[in-house]
Structure 1
Amino acid sequence: MNHSICNTIYNKVSSGTFLYWYAVVALLLPNIALCFTERLSFWAGAANVLLPLALYMWFFSVARCPGKMVWWAFLFVFFAAFQLVLLYLFGTGVIAVDMFLNLVTTNPGEVMELLDNLVPAVVGVFVIYLPLLILAVIHIRKKRQLSVSFQHHVRKWLMEVGAIGLFCLLACYVVVDDYRMRNQLYPVNVCYNLYLAFERNAASENYREVSRNFRFDARSGHDVEAPEVYVMVVGETARAHNFSLYGYPRNTNPLLSKTQGIMAFPDATTQSNTTHKSVPMLLSAASAEDFERLFHEKGILVAFKEAGFHTVFISNQLPNHSFIDFLGEQADEHYFLKKEDALQGNHYDEDLLQKLDEILPKADASSSAHYRYRKLFVVLHTYGSHFNYQERYPRSFAYFKPDSRSEAKSENRRDLLNAYDNTIRYTDYILHGIIERLQKWEGIQTKTDGVYGQPISAMLYTSDHGENIFDDERCLFLHAAPKASDYELHVPFIIWTSEGFSKQYPDILKALGENRSKQVQSSLSAFHTMLGIGGIQTHYRQDEYSVASDKYHPVKLLYLDDHDEAIPQEDAKFLR
């Protein structure tokens, strides 16, 4: 009897009809899920299910062998699996343009770190979609087919389902405000986003040629002979909520909190929760409101270079053929530590300090050449607090414990938060290390050289975006979701000026103090503020965006959405 039951089950599973319906339902799962996660209206939800259902029913009935059609539809099988993983991770949103771009700009190590800690989602999609592909291969090899009568019945049913779906779609345009198929009908919206991703990638491929003749026409407004060093530090995934400088109860800034010359801006937000958008905005004049200028203008390193500075870009991240690379490579010297020393494995951000030691102008009492470069501008791109958090700091910096559980589950929040706070303490150590080196350089220059005037230095630090760590009932994790949270948008914005700088430019110090309590959009202000601190004069510098200027005033908070449109930040946020 058991043998008979097994044969019956095998015959049903191995039939063409079973594979047909398996494929239709498997591809329809994201449509059903999105009805709930996107809170679609009745009409939009009905159209979102019925029209794709009719399409899938038609597609898999085109050929007698459904196995062949499954493999012809492999791209949409991939979309379905990818979509379900993203819904598990973020709880909302279709596969965005930024997600497609992340596939080609995120290094494989980061991808594996993430997938290793998304076991339930990864296992789930494998359980659903891997058997589908295997069964399709079996059907192709054994030439299993649909009956002609079944094909006729299916085509009759899909006509009825499609007609109802079209009626619901028409109702959407009549009843639902701002309904657009390209935004709300899966997989039309995913295909549209993929097209935009290809379009944006093509534009970036032409960047070097298009921007070849661009100039800032920049010059230095400071003493041409005076020694100057400025360091701009671009953090990774650091959220202001976890900095004790901003009132966080844990002591995550034991060094910076005792450092003289620190100005911490408590109300700073980023205009994007994705690295490949926010970092280029920090390093150029592009912002959410005019992001397109990124595709034909050069970055801040060129502005300083034109003004007579030797420029250096040092990154602790792998190059990924993105605008971050393009802008970094515009420096006189550029270094990607992970690429240059790949066999050494994980590079902690402390390696940036060692590289900075090599770059900083050398000076000592016995040296006849007190420095290699009188004026130096350095951009450091850290790995900061990027997930997996416990991999971002040496074990000697594991201050908050336990910090070992890293799987993306809300029940692991204690360990995840401890590890994340350890990354912030480590960032505190790195920033303090930069300041110590600048102070030492300035002190040596002051003692050994009185010819060229007072040496000055300064540092600006901000992060590309923040992070979610299962902070509330929404159970959000990581960043780059289609909708952002305050934890992703609220970033640290810290400026340090040396004693010499403060004495020589008291007007800038006064402006920094007066603007400290005002709203700041880091993606908009960092570029102009750094130019202002460095005394770089160019018509591209807009002092109304610089917190180092008495002309600064806050503007409307904007967010760069997935389609590169500037929208109010409130419209970009998750709803509670």
Structure 2
Amino acid sequence: MNRKKQYFYLALLWLIVMLPNLLLILIGEDSVVASGLKKIVFFILCGVLISLPLSFLKPKYFGWLTIVLFPFIVFELSMIYFYKAPSSEESINLLFLTNYHEASELLKGNLQIVLYTIIFLFIIVWLSTKLKKEFKLFKKQKIAIGILSIVIIGILYIRNVNAASKLHDNWSETMGLANFSLNVQFGKVFPLDIAMKINSVSNGLKKRKAYKQNIKNFKFGAVKNDTLKEPEIYVLVIGETARKHNFSIYNYSRKTTPYLDTIKNVIPYTNVSSAANLTSISIPFILTRATPNNLEAKFNEPAVINAFKEAGFKTYWITNQSIGVGSVFGFYSSLADVYKNTAISLDAATYDDAIFPVLDSILQDTSNSKKFIVIHTIGSHFRYNYRYPETFNQFKPALTRGLSLESTTSLSNKQALVNSYDNSILYTDYVLKSFIEQLKSKRSNAFLYYISDHGENLYDDDKNKLLHGFVTPTKYEFEIPLIIWTSDKYNKNYTQKVADLKRNQHLKISSINTFNTLLDMANISYPLEIKQQSFADSTFNKNQHRYLYNTNGKVIKLD
């Protein structure tokens, strides 16, 4: 047995498994490879993780493993080639949902690629057969691979803990962020990312099935109280990490919302609080009847989408964020009649204008004159400088894409952080203006209801807090924008509702008021509705107590 040849065959197989990572390094726009240093660190991490099985597997078995991984290698290469980012949990889910007809149609249209793929598979199989069963790595080599892997992963984890400790003074929050960061980093490395996503999809589908079973027989008994001549188009826009303090429509010193400041029929609500300071917790309080003091409806009732469906509306969900199959977004979006995803990756430069053509196609849909549309934007999701194109880089100096997470979040970079965040709000203003223009063009009975999931800290005071999700939240985490636009025809048809919406503009409002207000604005009622929770009604409870459900599961009274 020629050991040199055996090492050569093994090295080629290692390189083949490494191909998706190398392609990401070469053409990726993901933050994990945003600079030369990051590319080197990512290469080392990928290298040790792919080599790790050789510390306990025979090279022959590594060859067989490569054959098993072949379809995923091709899939991941395709994702990175087309989207410049690793595959998402949702794309993995779609891979398994693709049926024979769809697959055969795709293959027929790409015969040349099919031929290359077959040749690629032949090479892998051939290399695997060339590895001899008796070929083993020396014990010292195995130990070296194992120790090197542990050291590299250990250094990365210590670095994560160090970076997280600068953002949190609470140990559990620090470790939570460090563990989350490591999970995200591993979730970029092929083939570990595929295994993690398949496991997540599997668990998510079970959770979604249980959720669907839970709500199967639930009915709100929602009915539309009138019949209008004009088409009805009602849009809920869920913003991301937008705090009211950086909107000029709320008197921020910078002109960050020039369009919303001047658009006719826009009502900004000045005293609005989110019921949670973390997305996964806050969304149920917007879309369902759940409250911080009563979580029952969170997964035991459908979202507001179903109430609109009962009232005769066709429902749509458009998202520009990658969602977990078993997340609250996965649950609630699965209720819509039509689901569209424009997302690429949270860690890649993705802009909300990707939603424009999808919304336009939905507005052209003539199958139903009554539409309820949920739009989930990527908004000001961290990294802020990844959320707007260069034309909106108005406030400078802004963050650059090559900065490490530690440099990006450094207090010394506060001004660039704020500038980048303000640019993202400036872009959100443009996106909302564009949605409104699209709705205006239909000359229908329409409204747009925009609310953010939660706010954000930007080193605002001597507490030096950044980001969100703190056990003890600041006002910047829960004071959010809520902005409503109504069309001229809506104003004519629902004069009293518009008057009440304006009258309640400065009262205390919580994100939990969204469910009842949306239905009330659409003139939909249901037997157990609470009119006092709708700020589109004259009986709105102006003295309501507002609460926040924090990340430790405790309820905090805000008023």
The number of residues matched between the two structures is 389
The letter of the residue matching 2:445 is: I
Letter in 2 for 1:255: Y
The change in CA–CA distance for 1:420 and 1:111 in structure 2 (over 3 A counts) is farther
The CA deviation string for residues 273-300 of structure 1, in whole angstroms up to 9 with x for no partner, is: 1000112221111121212321211001
Cα deviation code 1:179-210 (max 9, x no counterpart) = xxxxxxxxxxxxxxxxxxxx999977732221
The 2-side partners of 1:494 and 1:91 are apart by 34
Structure 2 distance, partners of 1:494, 1:286, is 22
Following TM superposition, by how much is the alpha carbon of 1:85 offset from its aligned partner in structure 2, in angstroms? 5.0
How far apart, in 2, do the equivalents of 1:316 and 1:207 lie? 23
1:328 has 2:317 as partner: no
Aligned with 1:441: secondary structure? coil
Q: Deviations over 1:527-556 (max 9, x none)?
A: 111111111211343221111111111411
Match of 1:289 in 2: 293
Residue of structure 2 aligned with 1:559, choices 518, 543, 548 = 548
Alpha-carbon distance change, 480 to 336 in structure 1, aligned in 2, over 3 angstroms: same
Report the CA distance shift for 1:215/1:225 in structure 2 as closer, same or farther (over 3 A).
farther
- Asked whether the equivalents of residues 529 and 547 of structure 1 are also in contact (C-alpha less than 8 Å), the reply is yes
Question: CA distance change for structure 1 residues 429 and 107 in 2, over 3 Å: closer, same or farther?
Answer: farther
- Taking the aligned partners of 2:214 and 2:174, their CA distance within structure 1 comes to 27
Structure 1 residue 317 displacement after superposition? 0.4
Question: Conserved in 1, the CA contact under 8 Å of 2:270 and 2:481?
Answer: yes
Letter in structure 1 aligned against 2:170: T
Task: Give 1:150-549 correspondences, 5 Å limit.
Answer: 206-223=210-227, 226-321=230-325, 322-338=327-343, 346-361=349-364, 371-405=366-400, 407-442=408-443, 455-522=444-511, 524-549=512-537
When residues 404 and 264 of structure 1 are mapped into structure 2, their CA distance, relative to the original with a 3 A threshold, is same
CA distance in 1, matches of 2:184, 2:294: 28
Distance in 2 (CA, whole Å) between partners of 1:200 and 1:325 is: 8
Given residue 349 of structure 1, which amino acid in structure 2 is its aligned partner? Answer: D
Distance 2:411 2:265 in 1: 39
**Cα 1:345–1:80 shift into 2, 3 Å:** closer
Match of 1:89 in 2: 167
- Cα 1:100/1:395, change in 2 over 3 Å: closer
CA contact (8 A) 2:160 2:181 kept: no
Secondary structure in 1 aligned to 2:424?
A: helix
C-alpha change, 1:498 and 1:537, in structure 2 (3 Å) is same
Deviations 1:368-415 (A, max 9, x none): xxx332001100000000111110001011111111256111111111
| Aligned equivalents of 1:205, 1:569: Cα separation in 2 | 35
Deviation at 1:569, TM superposition (A): 2.8
Partners in 1 of 2:457 and 2:398 — Cα distance? 17
- What is the DSSP-based 3-state SS (H/G/I as helix, E as strand, rest coil) of the residue aligned with 1:206? helix
Checking the alignment, whether the CA contact within 8 Å between 1:83 and 1:95 is kept in structure 2 is: no
Gaps of 5+ in 1: 1-70, 113-198, 363-370, 443-454, 571-576
Counterpart of 2:167 in structure 1: which amino acid?
Answer: L
Q: Is the 8 A contact 1:361 1:374 kept in 2?
A: no
Output the CA distance in 1 between the equivalents of 2:446 and 2:331: 26
Alpha-carbon distance change, 102 to 310 in structure 1, aligned in 2, over 3 angstroms: farther
Q: Do 2:234 and 2:522's aligned partners in 1 also have CA atoms closer than 8 Å? A: yes
8 Å CA contact 2:321, 2:346 repeated in 1: no
Aligned AA for 1:299? A
TM-score by length of 1: 0.62
Q: Could you state the TM-score of these two structures normalised by the residue count of structure 2?
A: 0.64
Per the alignment, in what secondary structure is the counterpart of residue 434 of structure 2? helix
Q: Quick one: distance in 2 between partners of 1:456 and 1:431?
A: 18
SS of corresponding position for 1:278 = helix
CA distance in 2, matches of 1:463, 1:567: 19
Superposition RMSD in Å = 3.4
Contact 1:337 1:347 in 2 (8 A): no
Contact 1:301–1:331 (CA under 8 A) maintained in structure 2: yes
Secondary structure of 1:494 counterpart: strand
Report the Cα distance in structure 2 between the residues aligned to 1:338 and 1:548, rounded to whole angstroms: 33
Distance 1:343 1:421, change over 3 A: closer
Equivalent pair of 2:470/2:551 in contact (CA under 8 Å): no
Amino acid at match of 2:523: G
Q: Secondary structure at the match of 2:484?
A: strand
Report the alpha carbon displacement of residue 78 of structure 1 after superposing the two structures with TM.
Answer: 11
Hey, what's the Cα distance between the residues in 2 that align with 1:379 and 1:439?
Answer: 17
Superimposed CA distance per residue, residues 406-458 of structure 1 (whole angstroms, 9 cap, x where no aligned partner): 6111111111111100110100001111111111101xxxxxxxxxxxx3100
Q: 1:208 to 1:77 in 2, by over 3 A?
A: farther
Tell me: CA distance 1:376–1:421, structure 2 relative to 1, closer, same or farther (3 Å): same
Aligned in 2, Cα 1:96/1:561: closer, same or farther, shift over 3 Å? farther
The 3-state SS of whatever aligns with 2:235 is: strand
Match of 1:39 in 2: none
Distance 1:463 1:300 in 2: 17
Distance 1:483 1:206 in 2: 33
For 1:557 and 1:529, the matched residues in 2 are separated by: 16
Confirm or deny: 8 A CA contact 2:168 2:174 kept in the other structure: no
Matches within 5 A, 1:87-126: 87-92=165-170, 94-95=172-173
What code does the residue aligned with 1:425 have? L
What 5-or-longer segments of structure 2 have no aligned partner?
A: 1-148, 190-202
The structure with more radius of gyration: 1
Distance 1:89 1:485, change over 3 A: same
Q: In percent, how many aligned pairs have the same letter?
A: 31
> In the aligned structure 2, how far is the partner of 1:80 from the partner of 1:552?
51
The question of whether the paired residues in 2 share the 8 Å contact of 1:98 and 1:562 is answered with no
Contact 2:277 2:550 in 1 (8 A): no
Please identify, of 223-232 and 322-331, the stretch whose mean Cα deviation from structure 2 is larger.
223-232
Structure 1 pair 332–98 and aligned structure 2 pair: CA distance change class (3 A) = farther
Deviations 1:253-273 (A, max 9, x none): 111111000000111110111
